[in-house]
Amino acid sequence: MAYKLFYALGSAAMGIRVLLEEIGAPYELIQTTIAKDGHRPPEQLALNPNGWIPILVWDENAMYEGAAITVFLCDRHPATKLAPAIADAQRGLFLQTLVYFSSSVQNAFQLNYYPQRFADTPADEPGAQRRGNRRLRETWKVIDDQIGDNEWVLGERFSAVDIYLFMLTTWLRPSRGQPSVDEFPNVKRIADAVLPRRSVQSVYEKWIAERSAGN
């Protein structure tokens, strides 16, 4: 059974694609866009009226929200050990971090990348963007402190939440007034450790090449 993933380069669907690669499950990409003025195919809007990706499709079913898809896939493929099992003591920290990423860190990114969703008038948008950047500093600091000296987010064990962390760090743009990942050394240590994985090297090939070229 193959999964289908609504997908665009640079989007939150990239982390889900890395997860599918790690799982080794067959999947098909459905290319779409995240451009502000870009057209969203009707079949995408029918599955997620927000117009966001990722959307995962399997059999006759579909779901959106990256954090929920992450938990869903890990639980569906327990042999890959990408998430602590339900009775595992680390399940709480796994879920807490994933949901904090999606509700707080991603929200801060949205303020900066999509200010029109938060500001009442176009004149208010720069203020929303600035607050988003400050919020990025606040929320990444919480995560950096939480990680401390841990090798991975969960301590000694690699998990899907490390992939999620890596994906979010690729969105940081100091040129937009956002913090650099260098400000969060514990986060950076994990992102650097995730980067060499084969799944990440293949899905992020373009991002890696652009970064080496200094773009």
Ligand X SMILES: N[C@@H](CCC(=O)N[C@@H](CS)C(=O)NCC(=O)O)C(=O)O
Q: Using CB under 6 A, list all residues that contact ligand X.
A: 11-12, 34, 51-54, 64-67, 102, 106, 114
Q: How far is the CB of 71 from ligand X (least distance, A)?
A: 12
- Tokens 């841990």 belong to 150
- Report how far residue 154's alpha carbon sits from residue 144's, in angstroms, rounded to the nearest whole number: 13
Q: How far is the CB of 156 from ligand X (least distance, A)?
A: 27
Is 159 or 170 the residue whose CB approaches ligand X more closely? 170
The tokens of 35 are what? 């451009």
Is 54 or 132 the residue whose CB approaches ligand X more closely? 54
Is 51 or 177 the residue whose CB approaches ligand X more closely? 51
Is 13 or 191 the residue whose CB approaches ligand X more closely? 13
User: 186 with 148: CB under 8 angstroms?
Assistant: yes
Strand partners, 31: 7
Would residue 41 be called left, alpha or beta, if left means φ above 0 and alpha means ψ between -120 and 50 degrees? beta
Looking from the CA of 9 toward its CB, the CA atoms found within 13 Å total: 7
- Report how far residue 36's alpha carbon sits from residue 215's, in angstroms, rounded to the nearest whole number: 22
The tokens of 128 are what? 């929303």
Q: How far is the CB of 198 from ligand X (least distance, A)?
A: 23
Is 65 or 151 the residue whose CB approaches ligand X more closely? 65
Q: How far is the CB of 63 from ligand X (least distance, A)?
A: 10
- Residue 49: asked if its preceding bond is cis (omega within 30°), the reply is no
Q: How far is the CB of 120 from ligand X (least distance, A)?
A: 19
